[in-house]
Amino acid sequence: MERMNKCRYHPDRDACVVCQKMEVSYCQECLDNCRACTDPCLYCKFRQGCVIWELCRREAKKRCQEKKGGPEKGKKGGEG
């Protein structure tokens, strides 16, 4: 993996981050827009050292909540 990857959404751009889980690369813009995490709701063992997650976790969690839709009671707490 020596050569530069291209962005998943922008094949004409060089990627600046890589999702280690999916082995997919993304450009700066995608990172800024938090498009760079495909499954923020799912567990990811790479998250501890993931640049994408570090920058996008708030947005990702928010989207995750919206995706679930509606208030869900019972399960409380989590990481945080």
**Residues that bind Zn ion in the complex, under the rule CB under 5 A:** 7, 9-10, 27, 30
Nearer to Zn ion, 30 or 52 (CB): 30
Phi, psi of 33 (to 5 degrees): -90, 5
Nearer to Zn ion, 31 or 44 (CB): 31
Sequence-ordered strand ranges (E) for 1-80? 17-19, 24-26
Give yes or no for a contact between 18 and 38, defined as CB atoms under 8 angstroms apart.
no
Q: Shortest approach of Zn ion to residue 15 CB, angstroms?
A: 8
Q: Shortest approach of Zn ion to residue 40 CB, angstroms?
A: 17
